[in-house]
């Protein structure tokens, strides 16, 4: 037999151009709280804040929507950060003893963050080949001198060096060695211990020539830069932790390792101060932990603020993370649930002002940022418009809702405001207000829903760059747990000394792991939602604008249907609370459906137009009529060998011996069954594999050279009955003439069940259907040949478009589906996509992803991609994420590959599992427990920071000292590009320096980015940063 191989014709240039107008990959912004923060800085003039992390990332925040991101090349921990006030420049010190100067560079009205200079501090600096300076050793503290052109560096060796900020080089002849300080000390103090490392450097606000230096031994020194001598000495003997200079300069406050702080007079006539005027141990007299940082702020109304971290009694509360605020006789101990990194106050820094008058206190913790209003009695917390801790309880699931109606949005905002009312006397708002958000108002509102381990569902405004919390739903009150007992103990503890006050919302502990939310579904047109949990609980809730006290109907559904031979060994179901319960304004539960056995819910779907909710577990699936509060269908999907499905995720019954025995049996069985597979039904698979080379493709498609042979799955694999997806659709199932409601369910074993539903039709002009029973009849059952898990099922209308959501067509909110042409069903498994015609369920087209690409499907979604060239043109495509972290886009219903991008590292299993797509070609995935990375597959629908910063300081506009023409040209296009473009620019800056290769002086030219390419499509610079090589590549 002759074998023919058809060659692919040349790519259609029109289609390739259309792809560029539809698809483009960008990682745009990171939502949430930075993972593992390590440093904090604040610019009081520009009102912007910077956070550094252990991974070397730099995040700068201003007003909501104003964000700048940078990444150090060596990814070392950011130890310290300091703003040059009003200049938009930031100096960072890493734990590898390197200094880096960052600058917010404006261009064409926008701005981006750029690393301008870096300097690796030597162990022994050398100037002109000869120097007698002592060893620089490790830098312990940095102080920016008030003139803005120099920085003082305190070291472990006790020396203080000075740095030129314009060139980031050490200044010769201005170093303060410990010997010079020792000469000014009395003989009895000089003998014995050394001064130790420099622990603190503080500048005088009124006189910039004076620097307050604190050594670890406890010695404090005022150093005059003009006279180059020691002006005043404070002889402390307790190990020093931090220093603060009172605004007028007449008082110095020092904190120490024994939990005490001392007040020293700085305006006394004597140059030698032997004792402080006052020394206090706030939480003594028993041994206390060190006070790590202390601030002194005076007020015009009288009664200065003393704010410090640490100092708690070591034996009783040594494990607490606290910041204490003391004003006059009022002491509040702010008790946090994570470690304190740093804090600052927002106060007046103008020279003409006599008082600080602090407005707010910002505390950076390891897991959240807390801001307190210091001008309102009681010092309440200020709600954060961004940087909210997504992981206040561990995230267990997420979902996105696009195009939220304005009415529902307003009701959610109102319910959220009632949850956390602000004091009527509070006049303070979010104090970090620098910069200007230049992005246009979003055309539609988007909600991001996150389910959590403690049984809560949080609603986030995902319309723009800032992820703003809107509302929190808690389901724990419906069940009997130990929450009330724990709350009473916590309340009793607050009455004791110290005066603890719980602050912050990060709470990693769950009262009961069974409360964890597994799936959520929201109908945006009827304000109803479903929350499904770990113990088989399914809650149907409805949004209410007023509080209510009502009982919740409870129903049970046995998915095993009295099947013999199965015994549930997992956790028990949650016990619902009895009687009427008070519910605040917001989503209030109407019905509780308890699945039996109480296994975790694996799939859920809601159809509010029919009043039905469907849910699935590892045992089967069910349909419940929440309008009549009665069950409709229960189907068991268990295989006789599905023993693991009966143990549950929280079971401790399964022994190690049993696990090993099952593993060895599985290995032995796989070896033996390899020879028997040719006899059973899988012989068809081998015949298909043998004919792969002879398959005839359409004339315009080239035969794939190699397709991977996929071994069939055994029908008795464990957990084969897990329900992976559920889907309601109004389509043709019984015949090609009559359409009606259907339910589709896909399982882990590659089975798809299609049920025809008899739903009573609602009367004309009414949305509520009659009170008649809903019936379900099995219509079709599809078994995929490879038994690959079914990830998603979607019905396409006669035009090949997905069916609209409930009420979209009836309320004229979307185009009505085509019910004249033939419908089709798209079944997506982990290995392939396949389209079947309806109602015959005959194969129409397919794409074998695993055979072609060697990967498996993890997430799929249908998305609409709008063209950037034509506002009226859009295509509906299938987006899928694989286990390798790649994103593929396919046409629908033809299933032709369009584009694919590398999105997530294949090692990031949690990131791949957490990914969720939106309806308009965007997506979210967790890059850490507290951060969502946002990406876009659409060339038109992009959400990215676009902001400016008003910086008033002299700039050299005629000659750029740090960049050439090529680099300036490339960065000129970076200001309006995506966050991912800037991320790649920062990541490769150390390697190529944005157009410069790495070298001794970092000024060796590398090939420029072709200007014509930038003019043609500026966003392609993101790919250029990734692909830049020593020789220019053609475009």
Instruction: List, in sequence order, the alpha helices (H) in 364-503.
Output: 406-419, 483-494
**Are the beta carbons of 449 and 560 closer than 8 angstroms?**
no
Q: Report pLDDT for 129.
A: 45
Four-residue CA torsion sign, 26, 32, 37, 40 = positive
Mean pLDDT of 309-314: 96
Better-scored residue on pLDDT, 378 or 1020: 378
pLDDT band of 194, cuts 50, 70, 90:
confident
Q: Report pLDDT for 820.
A: 84
The b-or-e profile of 275-300 (16+ CB within 10 A means b, else e) is ebeeeebbbeeeebbbbbbbbbbbbe
pLDDT band of 510, cuts 50, 70, 90:
confident
**Are the beta carbons of 912 and 881 closer than 8 angstroms?**
yes
Question: What are 170's two structure tokens?
Answer: 């050490």
How does DSSP classify residue 6?
A: P
Q: How far apart are CA 887 and CA 24, in angstroms?
A: 12
Q: pLDDT digit string (tens) for 554-587?
A: 999 999 987 777 788 889 999 999 889 999 999 9
CA dihedral 739, 745, 746, 748 (to 10 degrees): -160
Q: Report pLDDT for 189.
A: 86
**Are the beta carbons of 615 and 538 closer than 8 angstroms?**
yes
Q: pLDDT digit string (tens) for 245-257?
A: 999 888 999 999 9
* pLDDT surpasses 80 at 128: no
pLDDT band of 147, cuts 50, 70, 90:
confident
pLDDT band of 477, cuts 50, 70, 90:
very high
Better-scored residue on pLDDT, 1008 or 575: 575
Helix and strand numbers (H, E) in the chain are 15, 64
Q: Residue written as tokens 């049996």? A: 665
Element (H, E) at 150: strand 150-155
Question: What are 12's two structure tokens?
Answer: 């259609």
Helix (H, G, I), strand (E, B) or coil at 82: strand
Please provide residue 823's backbone torsions phi and psi, each rounded to the nearest 5 degrees: -85, 165
How does DSSP classify residue 685?
A: H
Please provide residue 18's backbone torsions phi and psi, each rounded to the nearest 5 degrees: -65, -35
pLDDT band of 146, cuts 50, 70, 90:
confident
Question: What are 351's two structure tokens?
Answer: 């020279």
Q: Report pLDDT for 649.
A: 55
Q: Report pLDDT for 642.
A: 66
> Alpha carbon 547 to chain centroid distance?
32
Question: What are 535's two structure tokens?
Answer: 């113990």
How does DSSP classify residue 790?
A: E
Q: Report pLDDT for 966.
A: 28
> Alpha carbon 56 to chain centroid distance?
17
Q: Residue written as tokens 């329900």? A: 723
Q: pLDDT digit string (tens) for 166-188?
A: 999 999 888 999 999 998 888 88
Q: How many residues are listed for the chain in this entry?
A: 1035
pLDDT band of 123, cuts 50, 70, 90:
low
**Are the beta carbons of 232 and 271 closer than 8 angstroms?**
yes
* pLDDT surpasses 90 at 545: yes
How does DSSP classify residue 513?
A: G
Query: What percentage of the chain reaches a pLDDT higher than 90?
Result: 63
Q: Report pLDDT for 968.
A: 31
Mean pLDDT of 425-430: 67
Mean pLDDT of 640-660: 57
pLDDT band of 53, cuts 50, 70, 90:
very high
Mean pLDDT of 914-923: 97
Which of 373-387, 648-662, 868-882 is the least confident region?
648-662
Q: pLDDT digit string (tens) for 962-985?
A: 333 323 332 333 333 334 333 333
Q: How far apart are CA 500 and CA 490, in angstroms?
A: 10
pLDDT band of 645, cuts 50, 70, 90:
low
Question: What are 665's two structure tokens?
Answer: 């049996």
Q: Residue written as tokens 């230096």? A: 213
Better-scored residue on pLDDT, 494 or 806: 806
Tell me whether strands 947-948 and 110-120 are parallel, antiparallel or unpaired: unpaired
Q: Report pLDDT for 643.
A: 61
Q: Report pLDDT for 75.
A: 86
* pLDDT surpasses 60 at 1005: no
Question: What are 722's two structure tokens?
Answer: 């897990």
Q: Report pLDDT for 702.
A: 40
Q: Report pLDDT for 990.
A: 32
- CA nearest neighbour of 136 among 97, 187, 85: 97
Mean pLDDT of 513-524: 96
Tell me whether strands 500-502 and 330-336 are parallel, antiparallel or unpaired: parallel
- CA nearest neighbour of 425 among 375, 381, 385: 375
pLDDT band of 1014, cuts 50, 70, 90:
very low
Q: pLDDT digit string (tens) for 527-536?
A: 999 999 999 9
Q: How far apart are CA 408 and CA 709, in angstroms?
A: 50
Which of 54-58, 272-276, 572-576, 968-972 is the least confident region?
968-972
Give bridge partners of residue 605 from the DSSP assignment.
614
Better-scored residue on pLDDT, 1 or 498: 498
pLDDT band of 482, cuts 50, 70, 90:
low
Q: Report pLDDT for 514.
A: 94
pLDDT band of 148, cuts 50, 70, 90:
low
Mean pLDDT of 291-318: 93
Q: Residue written as tokens 């039904």? A: 681
Mean pLDDT of 98-117: 90
Q: Report pLDDT for 209.
A: 87
* pLDDT surpasses 80 at 657: no
When the pLDDT of each residue in the chain is averaged and rounded to a whole number, the result is: 83
Please provide residue 455's backbone torsions phi and psi, each rounded to the nearest 5 degrees: 90, 15
Q: How far apart are CA 792 and CA 828, in angstroms?
A: 5
**Are the beta carbons of 138 and 94 closer than 8 angstroms?**
no
Which of 227-231, 593-597, 848-852 is the least confident region?
227-231
How does DSSP classify residue 190?
A: H
Task: Give the number of other Cβ atoms within 10 Å of residue 76's Cβ.
Answer: 18
Q: Report pLDDT for 680.
A: 47
Contacts of residue 424, Cβ cutoff 8 Å, sequence gap at least 6 = none
Q: How far apart are CA 865 and CA 808, in angstroms?
A: 19
Mean pLDDT of 511-525: 94
Q: Report pLDDT for 961.
A: 37
Q: Report pLDDT for 999.
A: 34
CA distances from 473 to 286, 457, 549, 587, 611 (A): 43, 5, 16, 7, 22
Q: How far apart are CA 453 and CA 483, in angstroms?
A: 14
* pLDDT surpasses 50 at 489: no
Task: Give the number of other Cβ atoms within 10 Å of residue 781's Cβ.
Answer: 11
Q: How far apart are CA 260 and CA 273, in angstroms?
A: 18
Mean pLDDT of 505-516: 87
Mean pLDDT of 269-284: 89
Contacts of residue 129, Cβ cutoff 8 Å, sequence gap at least 6 = none
* pLDDT surpasses 70 at 692: no
* pLDDT surpasses 80 at 198: yes
Mean pLDDT of 99-103: 96
Q: Report pLDDT for 656.
A: 53
**Are the beta carbons of 334 and 503 closer than 8 angstroms?**
yes
Question: What are 120's two structure tokens?
Answer: 């690796």
């Amino acid at each position: 037999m002759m074998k023919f191989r058809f060659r692919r014709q040349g790519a259609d240039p029109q289609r390739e151009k259309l792809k560029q107008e539809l698809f483009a990959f960008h990682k745009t912004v990171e939502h949430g709280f930075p993972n593992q923060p390590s440093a904090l800085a604040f610019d009081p003039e520009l009102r912007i804040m910077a956070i550094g992390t252990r991974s070397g990332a730099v995040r700068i925040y201003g007003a909501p929507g104003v964000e700048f991101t940078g990444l150090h090349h060596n990814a070392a921990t950011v130890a310290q950060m300091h703003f040059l006030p009003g200049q938009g420049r930031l100096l960072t010190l890493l734990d590898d003893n390197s200094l880096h100067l960052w600058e917010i560079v404006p261009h064409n009205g926008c701005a981006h963050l750029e690393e301008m200079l870096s300097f690796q501090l030597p162990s022994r600096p050398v100037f002109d080949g000869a120097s007698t300076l002592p060893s620089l050793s490790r830098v312990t503290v940095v102080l920016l001198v008030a003139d803005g052109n120099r920085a003082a560096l305190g070291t472990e060796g006790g020396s203080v060096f000075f740095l030129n900020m314009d060139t980031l080089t050490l200044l010769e002849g201005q170093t303060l060695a410990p010997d010079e300080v020792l000469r000014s000390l009395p003989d009895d103090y000089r003998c014995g211990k050394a001064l130790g490392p420099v622990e603190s450097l503080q500048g005088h606000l009124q006189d910039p020539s004076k620097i307050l230096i604190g050594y670890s031994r406890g010695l404090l020194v005022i150093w005059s830069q003009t006279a180059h001598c020691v002006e005043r000495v404070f002889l402390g003997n307790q190990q020093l932790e931090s220093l603060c200079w009172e605004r007028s300069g007449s008082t110095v406050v020092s904190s120490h390792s024994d939990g005490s702080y001392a007040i020293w007079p700085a305006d006394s006539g004597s140059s030698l101060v032997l004792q402080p005027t006052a020394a206090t141990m706030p939480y003594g007299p028993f041994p206390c932990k060190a006070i790590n940082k202390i601030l002194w702020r005076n007020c015009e109304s009288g009664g200065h603020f003393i704010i410090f971290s640490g100092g708690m009694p070591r034996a009783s509360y040594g494990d607490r993370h606290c910041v204490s605020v003391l004003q006059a006789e009022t002491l509040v101990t702010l008790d946090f649930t994570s470690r304190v990194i740093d804090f600052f106050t927002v106060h007046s820094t103008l020279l003409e002002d006599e008082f600080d008058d602090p407005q707010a206190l910002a505390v950076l913790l390891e897991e959240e940022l807390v801001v307190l209003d210091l001008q309102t009695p009681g010092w309440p917390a200020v709600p954060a418009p961004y940087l909210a801790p997504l992981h206040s309880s561990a995230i267990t699931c997420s979902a996105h809702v696009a195009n939220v109606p304005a009415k529902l949005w307003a009701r959610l905002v109102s319910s959220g405001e009632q949850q956390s009312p602000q004091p009527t006397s509070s006049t303070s708002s979010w104090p970090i207000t620098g910069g200007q958000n230049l992005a246009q108002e979003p055309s539609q509102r988007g909600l991001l829903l996150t389910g959590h381990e403690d049984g809560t569902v949080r609603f986030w405004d995902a319309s723009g760059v800032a992820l703003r919390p809107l509302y929190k739903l808690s389901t724990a009150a419906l069940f009997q747990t130990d929450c009330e007992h724990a709350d009473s103990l916590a309340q009793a503890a607050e009455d004791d000394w110290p005066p603890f006050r719980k602050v912050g919302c990060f709470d990693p502990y769950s009262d009961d792991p069974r409360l964890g939310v597994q799936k959520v579904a929201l109908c945006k047109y009827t304000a109803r939602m479903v929350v499904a949990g770990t113990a088989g609980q399914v809650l149907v809730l409805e949004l209410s604008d007023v509080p209510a006290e009502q009982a919740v109907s409870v129903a049970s559904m046995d998915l095993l249907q009295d099947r013999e031979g199965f015994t549930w060994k997992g956790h028990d179901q949650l016990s619902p609370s009895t009687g009427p319960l008070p519910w605040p304004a917001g989503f209030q539960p109407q019905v509780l459906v308890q699945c039996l056995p109480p296994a975790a819910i694996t799939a859920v779907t809601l159809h509010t137009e029919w009043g039905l909710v469907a849910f699935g577990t590892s045992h089967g699936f069910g349909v419940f009529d929440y309008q009549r509060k009665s069950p409709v269908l229960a189907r068991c999907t268990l295989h006789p060998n599905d023993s693991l499905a009966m143990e549950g995720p929280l079971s401790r019954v399964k022994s190690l011996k049993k696990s090993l025995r099952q593993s060895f049996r599985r290995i032995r069985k796989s070896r033996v069954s390899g020879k028997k597979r040719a006899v059973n039904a899988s012989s068809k698979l081998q015949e298909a594999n043998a004919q792969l080379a002879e398959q005839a493709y359409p004339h315009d498609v080239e035969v794939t050279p190699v397709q991977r042979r996929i071994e069939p799955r055994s029908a008795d694999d464990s957990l084969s009955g897990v329900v992976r997806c559920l889907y309601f659709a109004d389509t043709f199932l019984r015949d090609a003439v009559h359409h009606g409601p259907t339910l589709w369910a896909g399982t882990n074993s590659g089975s798809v069940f299609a049920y025809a539903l008899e739903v009573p039709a609602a009367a004309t002009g009414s949305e509520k259907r009659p009170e008649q029973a809903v019936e379900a009849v099995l219509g079709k059952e599809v078994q995929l040949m490879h038994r690959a898990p079914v990830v998603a099922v979607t019905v396409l209308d006669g035009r090949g478009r997905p069916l609209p959501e409930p009420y979209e067509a009836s309320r004229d909110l979307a185009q009505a589906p085509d019910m004249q042409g033939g419908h089709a069903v798209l079944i997506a498994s982990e290995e392939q996509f396949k389209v079947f015609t309806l109602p015959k369920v005959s194969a129409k087209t397919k794409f074998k992803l695993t055979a072609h690409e060697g990967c498996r499907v993890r997430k799929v979604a249908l998305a609409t991609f709008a063209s950037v060239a034509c506002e009226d043109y859009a295509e509906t495509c299938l987006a899928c994420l694989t286990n390798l972290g790649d994103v593929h886009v396919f046409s629908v219903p033809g299933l032709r590959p369009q584009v694919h991008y590398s999105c997530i590292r294949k090692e990031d299993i949690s990131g791949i599992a957490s990914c969720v797509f939106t309806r308009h070609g965007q997506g979210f995935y967790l890059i850490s427990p507290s951060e969502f990375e946002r990406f876009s597959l659409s060339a038109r629908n992009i959400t990215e920071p676009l902001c400016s910063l008003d910086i008033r300081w002299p700039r050299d506009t005629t000659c750029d000292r740090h960049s050439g023409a090529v680099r300036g040209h490339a960065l000129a296009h970076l200001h309006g590009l995506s966050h991912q473009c800037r991320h790649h620019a920062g990541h490769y800056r150390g390697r190529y320096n944005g157009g410069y290769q790495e070298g001794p002086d970092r000024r060796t030219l590398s090939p420029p980015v072709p200007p014509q390419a930038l003019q043609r499509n500026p966003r392609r610079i993101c790919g250029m940063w990734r692909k830049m090589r020593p020789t220019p590549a053609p475009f």
